[in-house]
Amino acid sequence: MAPNKSEDTPGGAPALGADTASAQQQLCTWSSAVKSFGDKTMFIHEGQEMTFRDFGRRAAGLAKELQSLGVKPGDRVVTAIELSVEGYQALLAIWKVGAIAVPLHMQLVEEQLQRMVGRVEPTVCLVGPSLVDLYTGLDICTVMCANGRWESADDVESYPWAPEDTIMVMHSSGSTGDPKGVEIFASHFLGDVLPKDDHIGRYVSALRTLCYVPYCGGVCISIFFNSWKYGASIVIASKPVYEEGATEEWVDLVVRHNVESLVYFGTALAGIVHTGRQMPSLKVSTVIGVTVCESLLLQAMELAPNSSWGNVYALSETGIISVHLIHRARQPLDRANISAVGKPHTNVELRIDGPLKEVDGRQVGEVVAKTPRPMKGYWRSPAATAEVLVDGWMHTGDLGYISEDGNLFIVGRKKDVIILPSCNNIMPADIEDALASHSGVKVAAVVGFPAPEGMGEYPAAFVVGEVSEEELRAHLATKLAPFQMPKHICFLESMPLTGTNKISKQDLRRMARDL
Protein backbone atom coordinates (compact mmCIF):
# COMPACT_ATOMS: atom_id res chain seq x y z
CA MET A 1 0.00 0.00 0.00
CA ALA A 2 1.32 3.43 -0.93
CA PRO A 3 2.36 5.47 2.13
CA ASN A 4 -0.18 8.25 1.59
CA LYS A 5 -3.28 6.04 1.69
CA SER A 6 -5.50 6.25 4.77
CA GLU A 7 -6.01 2.79 6.21
CA ASP A 8 -8.97 4.04 8.24
CA THR A 9 -10.98 5.13 5.21
CA PRO A 10 -12.65 2.63 2.88
CA GLY A 11 -11.37 2.59 -0.67
CA GLY A 12 -14.55 4.15 -2.04
CA ALA A 13 -15.33 4.15 -5.75
CA PRO A 14 -12.49 3.45 -8.17
CA ALA A 15 -10.79 6.31 -9.95
CA LEU A 16 -12.06 6.49 -13.52
CA GLY A 17 -10.77 8.03 -16.72
CA ALA A 18 -6.97 7.98 -16.58
CA ASP A 19 -4.61 5.06 -16.18
CA THR A 20 -1.75 5.34 -13.73
CA ALA A 21 0.92 6.38 -16.21
CA SER A 22 -1.11 9.12 -17.90
CA ALA A 23 -2.37 10.36 -14.53
CA GLN A 24 1.15 10.75 -13.21
CA GLN A 25 2.15 12.64 -16.32
CA GLN A 26 -0.79 15.10 -16.07
CA LEU A 27 -0.74 15.63 -12.33
CA CYS A 28 2.81 15.23 -11.13
CA THR A 29 5.13 16.35 -13.90
CA TRP A 30 5.27 20.04 -13.13
CA SER A 31 8.21 20.22 -15.53
CA SER A 32 5.82 19.53 -18.43
CA ALA A 33 3.84 22.66 -17.53
CA VAL A 34 7.07 24.66 -17.29
CA LYS A 35 8.19 23.26 -20.65
CA SER A 36 4.91 24.32 -22.28
CA PHE A 37 4.33 27.67 -20.54
CA GLY A 38 7.61 28.50 -18.75
CA ASP A 39 7.93 32.21 -19.50
CA LYS A 40 4.19 32.87 -19.69
CA THR A 41 2.59 34.82 -16.86
CA MET A 42 0.95 32.44 -14.37
CA PHE A 43 -0.01 34.87 -11.60
CA ILE A 44 -0.88 38.54 -11.30
CA HIS A 45 -1.16 39.86 -7.74
CA GLU A 46 -0.93 43.40 -6.37
CA GLY A 47 0.59 44.68 -9.61
CA GLN A 48 3.30 42.00 -9.78
CA GLU A 49 3.52 39.19 -12.34
CA MET A 50 5.12 35.77 -11.93
CA THR A 51 5.89 33.27 -14.69
CA PHE A 52 5.33 29.51 -14.52
CA ARG A 53 9.10 29.00 -14.32
CA ASP A 54 9.64 31.41 -11.41
CA PHE A 55 6.61 30.05 -9.57
CA GLY A 56 7.97 26.51 -9.81
CA ARG A 57 11.39 27.52 -8.52
CA ARG A 58 9.86 29.22 -5.47
CA ALA A 59 7.68 26.19 -4.78
CA ALA A 60 10.74 23.92 -5.07
CA GLY A 61 12.51 26.03 -2.46
CA LEU A 62 9.58 25.59 -0.07
CA ALA A 63 9.47 21.86 -0.81
CA LYS A 64 13.08 21.54 0.35
CA GLU A 65 12.26 23.44 3.55
CA LEU A 66 9.35 21.08 4.25
CA GLN A 67 11.65 18.11 3.75
CA SER A 68 14.12 19.66 6.20
CA LEU A 69 11.29 19.79 8.76
CA GLY A 70 10.76 16.04 8.37
CA VAL A 71 7.75 16.04 6.03
CA LYS A 72 7.55 12.67 4.26
CA PRO A 73 5.19 11.12 1.69
CA GLY A 74 1.80 10.51 3.30
CA ASP A 75 2.26 13.17 6.00
CA ARG A 76 -0.38 15.88 6.30
CA VAL A 77 0.48 19.57 5.99
CA VAL A 78 -2.16 22.09 7.03
CA THR A 79 -2.26 25.43 5.20
CA ALA A 80 -4.10 28.62 6.21
CA ILE A 81 -2.77 31.42 4.04
CA GLU A 82 -4.11 34.78 2.88
CA LEU A 83 -4.98 35.30 -0.78
CA SER A 84 -1.52 35.39 -2.35
CA VAL A 85 0.82 33.52 -4.65
CA GLU A 86 2.31 31.89 -1.53
CA GLY A 87 -0.93 29.97 -0.98
CA TYR A 88 -0.59 28.25 -4.34
CA GLN A 89 3.18 27.73 -3.89
CA ALA A 90 2.41 25.92 -0.66
CA LEU A 91 0.09 23.47 -2.43
CA LEU A 92 2.62 22.67 -5.16
CA ALA A 93 5.43 22.25 -2.61
CA ILE A 94 3.33 19.87 -0.48
CA TRP A 95 2.48 17.71 -3.46
CA LYS A 96 6.05 17.68 -4.71
CA VAL A 97 7.17 15.95 -1.50
CA GLY A 98 4.27 13.48 -1.57
CA ALA A 99 2.43 14.97 1.40
CA ILE A 100 -1.33 15.49 1.73
CA ALA A 101 -2.51 19.11 1.70
CA VAL A 102 -5.14 20.13 4.25
CA PRO A 103 -6.20 23.70 3.39
CA LEU A 104 -8.21 25.47 6.11
CA HIS A 105 -10.14 28.74 6.20
CA MET A 106 -8.40 31.80 7.62
CA GLN A 107 -11.28 32.70 9.94
CA LEU A 108 -11.58 29.50 11.95
CA VAL A 109 -11.45 29.97 15.72
CA GLU A 110 -9.40 27.97 18.23
CA GLU A 111 -12.17 25.50 19.15
CA GLN A 112 -12.77 24.65 15.48
CA LEU A 113 -9.05 24.33 14.80
CA GLN A 114 -8.52 21.96 17.72
CA ARG A 115 -11.03 19.57 16.14
CA MET A 116 -10.06 19.96 12.49
CA VAL A 117 -6.27 20.12 12.88
CA GLY A 118 -6.26 17.43 15.55
CA ARG A 119 -8.28 15.15 13.30
CA VAL A 120 -5.63 15.02 10.54
CA GLU A 121 -2.53 15.00 12.83
CA PRO A 122 -0.30 17.16 10.60
CA THR A 123 3.48 17.21 10.63
CA VAL A 124 3.57 20.93 9.81
CA CYS A 125 1.08 23.81 9.77
CA LEU A 126 2.02 26.38 7.12
CA VAL A 127 0.11 29.55 7.99
CA GLY A 128 -0.03 33.25 7.23
CA PRO A 129 1.79 35.72 9.51
CA SER A 130 -1.41 36.77 11.30
CA LEU A 131 -2.14 33.17 12.36
CA VAL A 132 1.25 32.03 13.67
CA ASP A 133 0.41 32.69 17.35
CA LEU A 134 -3.02 31.03 17.09
CA TYR A 135 -1.67 27.85 15.51
CA THR A 136 1.37 27.74 17.80
CA GLY A 137 -1.03 27.86 20.75
CA LEU A 138 -2.70 24.67 19.56
CA ASP A 139 0.52 22.83 20.47
CA ILE A 140 -0.16 20.13 17.87
CA CYS A 141 2.79 20.30 15.47
CA THR A 142 5.52 22.50 14.00
CA VAL A 143 4.18 25.85 12.75
CA MET A 144 5.89 27.55 9.79
CA CYS A 145 5.14 31.13 8.71
CA ALA A 146 4.15 31.42 5.04
CA ASN A 147 5.81 34.77 4.46
CA GLY A 148 7.14 33.96 0.98
CA ARG A 149 10.77 34.37 2.05
CA TRP A 150 11.87 30.87 1.12
CA GLU A 151 14.66 30.70 -1.40
CA SER A 152 14.16 29.73 -5.04
CA ALA A 153 15.64 26.36 -5.93
CA ASP A 154 16.12 24.03 -8.85
CA ASP A 155 13.17 21.73 -9.31
CA VAL A 156 12.91 18.78 -6.95
CA GLU A 157 11.87 15.33 -8.13
CA SER A 158 8.10 15.10 -7.78
CA TYR A 159 6.46 12.29 -5.83
CA PRO A 160 5.02 9.68 -8.26
CA TRP A 161 1.34 10.02 -7.45
CA ALA A 162 -1.08 7.28 -8.54
CA PRO A 163 -4.73 8.12 -9.30
CA GLU A 164 -6.03 6.32 -6.19
CA ASP A 165 -3.67 8.13 -3.79
CA THR A 166 -5.00 10.72 -1.37
CA ILE A 167 -3.71 14.14 -2.40
CA MET A 168 -5.85 16.39 -0.22
CA VAL A 169 -8.24 16.52 2.72
CA MET A 170 -10.69 19.28 1.88
CA HIS A 171 -13.28 20.19 4.48
CA SER A 172 -16.91 20.37 3.45
CA SER A 173 -18.73 23.66 3.88
CA GLY A 174 -20.36 22.92 7.24
CA SER A 175 -23.40 24.92 6.15
CA THR A 176 -25.68 22.55 8.09
CA GLY A 177 -23.27 20.89 10.54
CA ASP A 178 -19.66 20.26 11.57
CA PRO A 179 -17.37 20.24 8.50
CA LYS A 180 -16.04 16.81 7.54
CA GLY A 181 -12.64 16.10 6.04
CA VAL A 182 -13.27 15.02 2.45
CA GLU A 183 -10.47 12.73 1.28
CA ILE A 184 -9.68 13.55 -2.36
CA PHE A 185 -8.18 11.15 -4.90
CA ALA A 186 -5.26 12.41 -6.96
CA SER A 187 -7.46 11.66 -9.99
CA HIS A 188 -10.13 14.07 -8.72
CA PHE A 189 -8.48 17.04 -10.39
CA LEU A 190 -7.48 15.10 -13.52
CA GLY A 191 -9.63 14.78 -16.59
CA ASP A 192 -9.79 14.87 -20.33
CA VAL A 193 -9.47 18.19 -22.12
CA LEU A 194 -13.04 19.38 -22.48
CA PRO A 195 -14.53 20.64 -25.76
CA LYS A 196 -14.51 24.39 -26.10
CA ASP A 197 -18.27 24.47 -26.72
CA ASP A 198 -18.87 22.91 -23.30
CA HIS A 199 -19.42 25.62 -20.67
CA ILE A 200 -16.91 24.07 -18.26
CA GLY A 201 -14.46 23.56 -21.13
CA ARG A 202 -14.66 27.26 -21.96
CA TYR A 203 -14.31 28.15 -18.27
CA VAL A 204 -11.18 26.08 -17.60
CA SER A 205 -9.42 27.09 -20.81
CA ALA A 206 -10.00 30.83 -20.44
CA LEU A 207 -6.79 32.80 -20.80
CA ARG A 208 -7.25 34.82 -17.61
CA THR A 209 -9.28 33.97 -14.49
CA LEU A 210 -9.92 35.90 -11.27
CA CYS A 211 -9.46 34.10 -7.95
CA TYR A 212 -11.00 35.71 -4.88
CA VAL A 213 -11.90 32.65 -2.77
CA PRO A 214 -9.70 31.32 0.05
CA TYR A 215 -7.46 28.30 -0.59
CA CYS A 216 -9.77 25.86 1.17
CA GLY A 217 -12.37 25.05 -1.49
CA GLY A 218 -12.60 23.15 -4.73
CA VAL A 219 -13.05 26.23 -6.93
CA CYS A 220 -9.69 27.70 -5.94
CA ILE A 221 -7.91 24.37 -6.35
CA SER A 222 -9.56 23.72 -9.72
CA ILE A 223 -8.44 27.12 -11.00
CA PHE A 224 -4.87 26.13 -10.05
CA PHE A 225 -4.94 22.78 -11.86
CA ASN A 226 -6.58 24.32 -14.91
CA SER A 227 -3.70 26.77 -15.11
CA TRP A 228 -1.30 23.79 -15.25
CA LYS A 229 -3.23 22.17 -18.08
CA TYR A 230 -4.13 25.14 -20.23
CA GLY A 231 -1.55 27.80 -19.40
CA ALA A 232 -4.18 30.17 -18.04
CA SER A 233 -3.13 33.20 -15.98
CA ILE A 234 -4.64 33.68 -12.52
CA VAL A 235 -5.37 37.17 -11.22
CA ILE A 236 -5.45 36.99 -7.42
CA ALA A 237 -7.58 39.46 -5.49
CA SER A 238 -6.31 40.95 -2.23
CA LYS A 239 -9.72 40.88 -0.53
CA PRO A 240 -11.54 37.56 -0.06
CA VAL A 241 -15.29 37.23 -0.37
CA TYR A 242 -16.01 37.96 3.30
CA GLU A 243 -14.21 41.35 3.47
CA GLU A 244 -16.02 44.67 3.13
CA GLY A 245 -15.43 46.38 -0.20
CA ALA A 246 -14.24 43.17 -1.83
CA THR A 247 -16.61 43.23 -4.79
CA GLU A 248 -15.44 46.70 -5.85
CA GLU A 249 -11.84 45.42 -5.95
CA TRP A 250 -12.82 42.33 -7.97
CA VAL A 251 -14.59 44.35 -10.64
CA ASP A 252 -11.62 46.74 -10.82
CA LEU A 253 -9.28 43.77 -11.39
CA VAL A 254 -11.57 42.31 -14.06
CA VAL A 255 -11.54 45.59 -15.97
CA ARG A 256 -7.85 46.42 -15.44
CA HIS A 257 -6.52 42.98 -16.41
CA ASN A 258 -9.12 42.01 -19.04
CA VAL A 259 -10.22 38.97 -17.04
CA GLU A 260 -12.16 36.50 -19.22
CA SER A 261 -13.56 34.05 -16.66
CA LEU A 262 -15.27 34.75 -13.35
CA VAL A 263 -16.88 32.39 -10.85
CA TYR A 264 -19.68 33.74 -8.68
CA PHE A 265 -21.07 32.50 -5.41
CA GLY A 266 -24.53 33.80 -4.55
CA THR A 267 -23.36 36.62 -2.31
CA ALA A 268 -20.63 37.57 -4.78
CA LEU A 269 -23.03 37.82 -7.72
CA ALA A 270 -25.27 40.22 -5.83
CA GLY A 271 -22.34 42.34 -4.68
CA ILE A 272 -20.84 42.62 -8.15
CA VAL A 273 -24.20 43.55 -9.67
CA HIS A 274 -24.62 46.33 -7.15
CA THR A 275 -21.35 47.96 -8.25
CA GLY A 276 -23.06 48.74 -11.55
CA ARG A 277 -19.75 48.60 -13.47
CA GLN A 278 -19.36 47.23 -16.99
CA MET A 279 -17.13 44.16 -17.51
CA PRO A 280 -16.86 43.79 -21.31
CA SER A 281 -13.82 41.44 -21.19
CA LEU A 282 -15.76 38.60 -19.51
CA LYS A 283 -16.45 35.67 -21.82
CA VAL A 284 -17.42 32.96 -19.32
CA SER A 285 -19.42 33.58 -16.14
CA THR A 286 -20.12 30.65 -13.82
CA VAL A 287 -22.48 30.61 -10.84
CA ILE A 288 -21.75 28.01 -8.15
CA GLY A 289 -23.63 27.02 -5.04
CA VAL A 290 -26.97 28.74 -5.71
CA THR A 291 -29.90 28.77 -8.05
CA VAL A 292 -30.05 31.98 -10.02
CA CYS A 293 -32.60 34.73 -9.40
CA GLU A 294 -33.85 35.92 -12.81
CA SER A 295 -33.86 39.63 -11.97
CA LEU A 296 -30.30 39.42 -10.61
CA LEU A 297 -29.07 37.52 -13.66
CA LEU A 298 -30.63 40.03 -16.04
CA GLN A 299 -28.77 42.85 -14.28
CA ALA A 300 -25.50 40.87 -14.40
CA MET A 301 -25.92 40.15 -18.10
CA GLU A 302 -26.17 43.87 -18.80
CA LEU A 303 -22.81 44.39 -17.06
CA ALA A 304 -21.14 41.51 -18.94
CA PRO A 305 -22.83 41.53 -22.36
CA ASN A 306 -20.13 39.44 -24.06
CA SER A 307 -20.28 36.58 -21.57
CA SER A 308 -22.04 33.26 -21.60
CA TRP A 309 -23.58 32.26 -18.25
CA GLY A 310 -23.64 28.84 -16.66
CA ASN A 311 -24.73 27.32 -13.38
CA VAL A 312 -22.67 24.47 -11.90
CA TYR A 313 -23.85 22.03 -9.24
CA ALA A 314 -20.88 20.43 -7.50
CA LEU A 315 -19.88 19.07 -4.10
CA SER A 316 -16.49 18.57 -2.48
CA GLU A 317 -17.44 14.90 -2.25
CA THR A 318 -18.32 14.43 -5.92
CA GLY A 319 -16.80 17.09 -8.14
CA ILE A 320 -19.11 18.43 -10.86
CA ILE A 321 -22.56 16.81 -10.95
CA SER A 322 -24.43 18.97 -13.44
CA VAL A 323 -23.94 22.02 -15.62
CA HIS A 324 -26.56 24.36 -17.04
CA LEU A 325 -25.75 26.77 -19.84
CA ILE A 326 -28.24 29.46 -18.86
CA HIS A 327 -27.38 31.91 -21.57
CA ARG A 328 -25.04 32.35 -24.52
CA ALA A 329 -23.83 35.87 -25.16
CA ARG A 330 -26.22 37.90 -27.31
CA GLN A 331 -28.75 35.06 -27.58
CA PRO A 332 -32.23 34.74 -26.00
CA LEU A 333 -32.38 33.81 -22.32
CA ASP A 334 -33.75 30.37 -21.38
CA ARG A 335 -36.29 31.74 -18.91
CA ALA A 336 -38.10 28.44 -18.38
CA ASN A 337 -35.01 26.80 -16.89
CA ILE A 338 -33.26 29.79 -15.36
CA SER A 339 -33.31 28.29 -11.85
CA ALA A 340 -32.16 24.84 -13.01
CA VAL A 341 -28.70 23.51 -12.20
CA GLY A 342 -28.67 21.62 -15.46
CA LYS A 343 -28.35 18.15 -16.88
CA PRO A 344 -25.83 15.54 -15.71
CA HIS A 345 -22.26 16.39 -16.70
CA THR A 346 -20.00 14.04 -18.66
CA ASN A 347 -20.05 10.45 -17.30
CA VAL A 348 -22.36 11.41 -14.41
CA GLU A 349 -25.44 9.37 -13.47
CA LEU A 350 -28.25 11.01 -11.53
CA ARG A 351 -31.41 9.90 -9.79
CA ILE A 352 -33.96 11.14 -7.27
CA ASP A 353 -34.44 8.85 -4.26
CA GLY A 354 -37.51 8.52 -2.09
CA PRO A 355 -39.42 8.84 -0.01
CA LEU A 356 -40.81 11.40 -2.45
CA LYS A 357 -42.86 14.29 -1.15
CA GLU A 358 -45.23 16.43 -3.14
CA VAL A 359 -44.27 20.08 -2.79
CA ASP A 360 -46.16 22.63 -4.88
CA GLY A 361 -47.18 19.87 -7.28
CA ARG A 362 -43.63 18.55 -7.68
CA GLN A 363 -42.34 15.13 -6.65
CA VAL A 364 -39.28 16.04 -4.60
CA GLY A 365 -36.68 13.63 -3.24
CA GLU A 366 -32.98 13.35 -2.40
CA VAL A 367 -30.49 13.93 -5.22
CA VAL A 368 -28.18 10.92 -5.59
CA ALA A 369 -25.26 11.00 -8.02
CA LYS A 370 -22.52 8.73 -9.33
CA THR A 371 -19.60 10.75 -10.69
CA PRO A 372 -16.30 9.72 -12.31
CA ARG A 373 -14.22 11.43 -9.60
CA PRO A 374 -15.88 10.95 -6.22
CA MET A 375 -14.23 11.40 -2.86
CA LYS A 376 -12.28 8.53 -1.37
CA GLY A 377 -14.24 8.97 1.86
CA TYR A 378 -14.40 11.16 4.93
CA TRP A 379 -11.01 11.23 6.61
CA ARG A 380 -10.80 8.38 9.12
CA SER A 381 -14.60 8.28 9.36
CA PRO A 382 -15.72 5.03 7.72
CA ALA A 383 -19.15 5.14 9.38
CA ALA A 384 -19.86 8.66 8.12
CA THR A 385 -18.61 7.64 4.67
CA ALA A 386 -20.87 4.57 4.57
CA GLU A 387 -23.90 6.74 5.34
CA VAL A 388 -23.55 8.80 2.18
CA LEU A 389 -21.42 6.79 -0.30
CA VAL A 390 -23.19 3.56 -1.24
CA ASP A 391 -21.96 1.41 -4.15
CA GLY A 392 -20.34 4.47 -5.71
CA TRP A 393 -23.53 6.58 -5.38
CA MET A 394 -23.27 9.78 -3.33
CA HIS A 395 -26.35 10.69 -1.30
CA THR A 396 -25.99 14.46 -1.46
CA GLY A 397 -28.49 15.51 1.21
CA ASP A 398 -29.91 17.97 -1.34
CA LEU A 399 -33.58 17.83 -2.27
CA GLY A 400 -34.62 18.28 -5.86
CA TYR A 401 -36.53 17.06 -8.85
CA ILE A 402 -35.83 16.36 -12.52
CA SER A 403 -38.04 18.09 -15.08
CA GLU A 404 -39.53 16.41 -18.13
CA ASP A 405 -36.70 17.76 -20.30
CA GLY A 406 -34.06 16.30 -17.95
CA ASN A 407 -32.99 19.42 -16.03
CA LEU A 408 -32.20 19.09 -12.34
CA PHE A 409 -33.71 21.62 -9.94
CA ILE A 410 -32.45 21.94 -6.34
CA VAL A 411 -35.10 23.09 -3.87
CA GLY A 412 -33.35 22.69 -0.51
CA ARG A 413 -31.52 20.39 1.89
CA LYS A 414 -33.04 17.37 3.62
CA LYS A 415 -32.36 19.12 6.92
CA ASP A 416 -33.76 22.39 5.58
CA VAL A 417 -37.32 21.21 4.98
CA ILE A 418 -39.62 23.11 7.31
CA ILE A 419 -42.61 21.13 8.59
CA LEU A 420 -45.19 23.54 10.00
CA PRO A 421 -47.35 22.71 13.03
CA SER A 422 -50.13 22.31 10.45
CA CYS A 423 -48.00 19.53 8.85
CA ASN A 424 -47.53 21.51 5.62
CA ASN A 425 -44.05 21.19 4.12
CA ILE A 426 -42.20 24.37 3.15
CA MET A 427 -39.07 24.55 1.02
CA PRO A 428 -36.87 27.48 2.11
CA ALA A 429 -35.78 27.93 -1.52
CA ASP A 430 -39.33 28.93 -2.50
CA ILE A 431 -39.36 31.75 0.05
CA GLU A 432 -35.76 32.73 -0.80
CA ASP A 433 -36.67 33.03 -4.48
CA ALA A 434 -39.64 35.24 -3.63
CA LEU A 435 -37.48 37.46 -1.43
CA ALA A 436 -34.71 37.70 -4.04
CA SER A 437 -37.19 38.82 -6.69
CA HIS A 438 -37.54 42.18 -4.87
CA SER A 439 -35.12 44.74 -6.29
CA GLY A 440 -34.14 45.96 -2.80
CA VAL A 441 -32.93 42.53 -1.66
CA LYS A 442 -29.26 41.68 -2.23
CA VAL A 443 -29.14 38.30 -0.46
CA ALA A 444 -31.79 36.28 1.37
CA ALA A 445 -31.80 33.04 3.36
CA VAL A 446 -34.58 31.17 5.17
CA VAL A 447 -34.34 28.66 8.02
CA GLY A 448 -36.76 26.98 10.36
CA PHE A 449 -37.03 27.56 14.11
CA PRO A 450 -38.99 25.56 16.71
CA ALA A 451 -42.67 26.51 16.96
CA PRO A 452 -43.77 27.68 20.42
CA GLU A 453 -46.56 25.11 20.24
CA GLY A 454 -43.91 22.44 20.74
CA MET A 455 -44.47 20.71 17.39
CA GLY A 456 -43.03 21.62 14.02
CA GLU A 457 -41.21 24.75 12.88
CA TYR A 458 -41.88 28.18 11.44
CA PRO A 459 -39.79 29.94 8.77
CA ALA A 460 -37.53 32.86 9.63
CA ALA A 461 -36.09 35.01 6.83
CA PHE A 462 -32.74 36.80 6.95
CA VAL A 463 -32.19 39.58 4.44
CA VAL A 464 -29.34 41.84 3.34
CA GLY A 465 -30.69 44.78 1.39
CA GLU A 466 -32.36 48.16 1.34
CA VAL A 467 -36.08 47.61 1.86
CA SER A 468 -38.51 47.88 4.78
CA GLU A 469 -40.20 44.87 6.33
CA GLU A 470 -43.61 46.31 5.47
CA GLU A 471 -42.70 46.70 1.80
CA LEU A 472 -41.12 43.24 1.69
CA ARG A 473 -44.16 41.55 3.26
CA ALA A 474 -46.44 43.27 0.76
CA HIS A 475 -44.22 41.92 -2.02
CA LEU A 476 -44.21 38.39 -0.57
CA ALA A 477 -48.00 38.42 -0.34
CA THR A 478 -48.09 38.46 -4.15
CA LYS A 479 -45.64 35.54 -4.40
CA LEU A 480 -46.39 33.11 -1.57
CA ALA A 481 -49.30 31.30 -0.03
CA PRO A 482 -50.21 32.59 3.45
CA PHE A 483 -48.78 29.49 5.18
CA GLN A 484 -45.42 30.09 3.43
CA MET A 485 -44.99 33.60 4.82
CA PRO A 486 -41.98 33.91 7.16
CA LYS A 487 -42.85 34.34 10.81
CA HIS A 488 -39.93 36.74 11.23
CA ILE A 489 -37.90 38.86 8.81
CA CYS A 490 -34.52 39.93 10.15
CA PHE A 491 -32.24 42.41 8.41
CA LEU A 492 -28.46 41.89 8.51
CA GLU A 493 -25.47 43.90 7.35
CA SER A 494 -23.99 40.69 5.91
CA MET A 495 -24.66 36.97 5.96
CA PRO A 496 -22.61 34.58 8.12
CA LEU A 497 -20.52 32.44 5.76
CA THR A 498 -18.92 29.03 5.97
CA GLY A 499 -15.31 28.35 5.09
CA THR A 500 -16.29 27.77 1.45
CA ASN A 501 -18.29 31.01 1.25
CA LYS A 502 -21.75 29.49 1.42
CA ILE A 503 -24.35 31.03 3.70
CA SER A 504 -24.06 29.32 7.09
CA LYS A 505 -27.57 28.16 7.85
CA GLN A 506 -26.25 26.58 11.01
CA ASP A 507 -25.46 30.07 12.34
CA LEU A 508 -28.78 31.45 11.09
CA ARG A 509 -30.68 28.70 12.93
CA ARG A 510 -28.94 29.70 16.15
CA MET A 511 -29.94 33.30 15.53
CA ALA A 512 -33.52 32.31 14.72
CA ARG A 513 -33.94 30.50 18.04
CA ASP A 514 -33.37 33.81 19.85
CA LEU A 515 -36.05 35.72 17.92
Residue-wise pLDDT tens digits, 473-486: 999 988 887 888 99
The verdict on residue 464 lying in a domain is yes
Residue 435 lies in a domain: yes
Q: Please report the pLDDT score of residue 111 as a whole number.
A: 76
Average pLDDT of the residues of the chain:
83
Please indicate, yes or no, if residue 472 is contained in any of the structural domains.
yes
> Whole domain around residue 487: which residue ranges?
417-513
330 — pLDDT class (breaks 50, 70, 90): confident
Three-state DSSP state, 509: helix
pLDDT of residue 202: 60
Domain containing residue 432: CATH number: 3.30.300.30
pLDDT of residue 115: 85
Q: How many domains does the chain have?
A: 1
pLDDT over 50 at 24, yes or no: no
DSSP string of 284-352, one letter each residue: EEEEESSPPPHHHHHHHHHHSTT-EEEEEEEETTTEEEEEEEEE-TTS---GGGTT--BEE-TT-EEEE
Most confident of 66-80, 186-200, 205-219, 309-323: 66-80
CB 321 within 8 A of CB 315: yes
Q: How far apart are alpha carbons 1 and 117 in whole angstroms?
A: 25
455 is a domain residue: yes
Integer Cα distance of 322 and 67 in angstroms:
40
- Output the pTM of the full model: 0.79
- The yes-or-no verdict on residue 308 having pLDDT over 70 is yes
- 3 falls in which pLDDT band (50, 70, 90)? very low
Residue 409 has pLDDT above 50, yes or no: yes
Judged by average pLDDT, the poorest of 288-297, 303-312, 404-413 is 288-297
- Residue 299 placed within a domain: no
**pLDDT at position 503, please?**
87
* Region 241-247 average pLDDT: 75
Domain membership of residue 479 (yes or no) is yes
Domain assignment present for residue 401? The answer is no
